[in-house]
Structure 1
Amino acid sequence: MRHGATNCTHPECCGDLPPAAARNGPERADGVTPAHWPEPAVCLLLPQAVGAVSALAAGRGVPEYYRSLRKPSWAPPARVFGPAWSSLYALTGVSSWIVLRTRTRRTVTPTLGLYTAQLALNGLWTPLFFRARRPHLAFVEIVVLWVSIALTMQRFARISRPAALLLLPYLAWTTFAAVLNFELWRRNREPAPRPYEARP
């Protein structure tokens, strides 16, 4: 036993606790302290919230409008998009949390600013395509979104390679969505021909 250890009221001074543990409290095996537990929750919930607000802003009738469009044979059914985006939002949330854990304000702040900007662009696409029904503008917007995701991946890679790799499915799906957007615009620029009606 150290001399005077029983009378010490500051364990970090005596070496019983490291300074970081003394400041932040007990740390779990995953590295998340109780003081920081809201951060992973916010990182995971923020993309999901953006997706939910975007879906609400798109209004009703989204599946019906999608079914009414002339589509290529490889276009997925409407029911695929919800689960696909929810999964991608989860990956982006984990990715942003990994970056946030670096705690380097000089690098994290502008990087997460770019990440937040691409989330806003993501949320804008759905109401632009389905509510405003402007597929040509939606295509321009999703191209800008694609560029912002690529730039975000580049910035994330400077901080954490795993964080950048977690965004790869997001970029791939956005690439597919952009191609589909273009095809829907191209195929539906002219009104659908009316069915032939035989004269009496």
Structure 2
Amino acid sequence: MVGSERCWDAVLAFCERVMSEKEAAERLDGKWYLAAIATDFNIQGDCAMVVFNHKNNNTTDVSISWVVNNTASYYNGSVTLTDGSNGGELLLVTYTDKKSEIYSVLDVNYEHYAVILSCYDNPDGNSSTYELWKLTRSPHLKKTDAAMLDLAVGNYSLENTPFLIFNNTEDSCKINAGNHLNPATLILSSAAAISLLRRLY
């Protein structure tokens, strides 16, 4: 089991204005495994997954799940595309507890991996708090995908980010039962942290 007993803030000097690919919402459709995450969540789990469900009416649902002893907890929401200040499309995720987050897709190969960032400038004007997700299509992190994920993170000067790693396997990700997440049980220390375990799409 992978877990973290500490909460920490991922802090940047400032948020880079990155451009997400168009049609990202639809093409992210399906199941992703959360290989690693940088967040100030206090989280513990054997496996973590994100499922995007793009519908015929051009809306997308997202469900984040994490599994402990083959029992899953879920955090759900919906995804819309919104225009970024640089002309790119961003993912606006609104969760069932009415919280919302905006994500940039830093890099993606829709059949293999994706790197997703949420970043907010802090009130001090000198720093930013961010959340960073490394997603893969398979539970086992392939060496080629790991290299591309690291490259994408390095391209945005985030290579020194401390990540929480999930040891996803077919056995650890098998779900025998499920519980809907009560948002009150989350331990959060920043607005950006809320976004971690919710449905992305």
Q: Do they fold alike, i.e. is TM over 0.5?
A: no
Asked which structure has the greater RCO (Cα within 8 Å, sep 6+), the reply is 2
Report the structure number with the largest CA radius of gyration.
1
- Taking structure 2 as the reference length, what is the TM-score of the superposition? 0.28
Q: Which has the higher strand share?
A: 2
- Taking structure 1 as the reference length, what is the TM-score of the superposition? 0.28
Q: Which has the higher helix share?
A: 1
